[in-house]
Amino acid sequence: MNASLSDSDAKDIEKLKQHAYRIRRNALLMGEVQGQGYVGQALGVADVLAVAYFQALKFKADDPEWEGRDRFLLSIGHYAIALYAALIEAGIISESEIENYGSDDSILPMSGMAAYTPGMEITGGSLGHGLGIGVGMALGLKRKNSTSLVYNLLSDGELNEGSTWEAAASAGHWQLNNLIAIVDVNDQQADDKSSTVLNYEPIADKWAAFGWETWRVNGNDLGALAQAFSAAIGSSSDKPRVIICDTLMGRGVPLLETRDKTHFIRVDENEWSLALEQLDEVYGIK
């Protein structure tokens, strides 16, 4: 934890830690239902989502379409399990839906779609769409003189897509200071490590060159994330903002943290309960 944090900050971080724990737990429970799922990504990005939903975002749990809400766009459809876990923790989705994850007619399909799930703003999955939609929503919100913000969680792999950079250039051009991109850099995409598939560095410089204000943090450090989100929201600049988060896939479950990294981390049938036990251990929960 950051030594410069005050006591009240420390309490806030402790709360965020509890949220991050339950987001991870929800994701593991969903993964267990299907015996598969993108739990590696979910565990990796859980701290980012904890800060997003429990520090940054304005929302009403009982009214997910509330006009005054901040919009959170998940480009990466396969991260749906992570966002569901956060939406459950936020009270937007009932915990009872966990057991339906990925099943026929479930409101929680394996890849995120707007029409299925409360709180899911867009249909992701065809990668490279989210930031462009975010540009349009940010322009629309400005037209309405709304103070709501648009967040877009995208992945390092999505930086391969030309459309992401079309949108990045546009956001800079239009000075969309109501748009906050969050890039989950877990250095893993479908075929290989992201840095091997198509090197994304120097990542912050690229965004800066497109007219964005940038932060790069350890995406599994709640204190650092909390500060970055506060700074991004509080900035008085005319630029769109990007928080680049380096994360560790499988974070919080040692057996998955150390497993060979792939896009789809294997979890054997007997390992789900072990993973949940390890998570409890890491968080000191008995």
Q: Is 35 in the site for another protein (CB under 8 A)?
A: no
- Look-up of token digits 């599994």: 220
Q: Which helix (H) or strand (E) holds 87?
A: helix 80-89
Task: Work out which of 37, 44, 102, 134 binds another protein, going by CB under 8 A.
Answer: 134
> Which residues, in sequence order, are CB contacts of 1 under 8 Å at separation 6+?
10, 13, 222, 223
Distances (CA, A) of 233 to 2, 70, 180, 241: 20, 11, 8, 8
Task: Work out which of 48, 52, 137, 149 binds another protein, going by CB under 8 A.
Answer: 137
| Per-residue mark of binding to another protein, 265-284 (x: CB under 8 A) | --------------------
Please classify residue 3 by burial: count the beta carbons closer than 10 Å to its beta carbon, then call 0-12 exposed, 13-18 middle and 19+ buried. Answer: exposed
| Per-residue mark of binding to another protein, 83-122 (x: CB under 8 A) | ------------------------------xxx-----xx
Q: Is 123 in the site for another protein (CB under 8 A)?
A: yes
Q: Is 162 in the site for another protein (CB under 8 A)?
A: yes
- Least Å distance, CB 7 to another protein, is 41
Cis peptide before 64 (omega within 30 of 0): no
Task: Work out which of 36, 106, 160, 163 binds another protein, going by CB under 8 A.
Answer: 163
Q: Is 139 in the site for another protein (CB under 8 A)?
A: yes
Q: b or e along 20-52 (b: 16 or more beta carbons within 10 Å of the residue's beta carbon)? A: bbbbbbbbbbbbbbeeebbbbbbbbbbbbbbbb
Q: Is 44 in the site for another protein (CB under 8 A)?
A: no
- Least Å distance, CB 162 to another protein, is 7
3-class secondary-structure state, position 213:
strand
Q: Is 136 in the site for another protein (CB under 8 A)?
A: yes
Q: Is 246 in the site for another protein (CB under 8 A)?
A: no
Task: Work out which of 49, 135, 232, 253 binds another protein, going by CB under 8 A.
Answer: 135
Length of the chain: 286
Site for another protein in 172-201 (CB under 8 A): 173
Q: Is 58 in the site for another protein (CB under 8 A)?
A: no
Contact criterion met (CB below 8 Å) for 123 and 76:
no
Q: Which helix (H) or strand (E) holds 155?
A: strand 150-155
Footprint of another protein (CB under 8 A): 113-115, 121-123, 125-126, 128-129, 131-141, 143-144, 162-163, 166-167, 169-170, 173
